[in-house]
Amino acid sequence: MGTEQYHEPANELTQEIRTFARIITSLQEEAEAIGWYEQRISLERDPQAKAIMENAQQEEFKHFAMALEYISRRHPKLQAVLKRVLFHKGDIVKLGEEGEKAEEQV
């Protein structure tokens, strides 16, 4: 059983924190999978194989989104940043700075 997601002694962490750590690990794994599929899709020449990989990547998008939502519901400051940065047009760095200000108000 892997415990690499724990940075502190697992037996000293609450169940809630251990669950949070597992979801963070899932988020990392989903992000890696999205990146791996992106590379495979870009090189694949067989249309059917490419379609399978695209379908699989779409599943990883969903998994990533669910894990991110889980984490954001447990951290109001993170949720404040996400609300300010995600799904807005304009300069991403500027949105990030605005998100940081929103975070400070939570």
Cβ at position 34, least distance to Fe ion in Å: 9
| Residue 60 binding Fe ion, by CB under 5 A | yes
The DSSP output letter for 8 is S
| Residue 103 binding Fe ion, by CB under 5 A | no
Helix axes 47-74, 76-85, angle to 10 degrees: 130
d(CA 70, CA 24): 9
The closest of 85, 89, 105, 88 to 97, measured between CA atoms, is 85
d(CA 17, CA 6): 10
Q: Which of 18, 40, 50, 63 binds Fe ion (CB under 5 A)?
A: 63
Range in contact with Fe ion (rule: CB under 5 A) among 11-19, 28-36, 75-83, 86-94? 28-36
Range in contact with Fe ion (rule: CB under 5 A) among 2-10, 24-32, 38-46, 87-95? 24-32
Q: Using CB under 5 A, list all residues that contact Fe ion.
A: 30, 60, 63
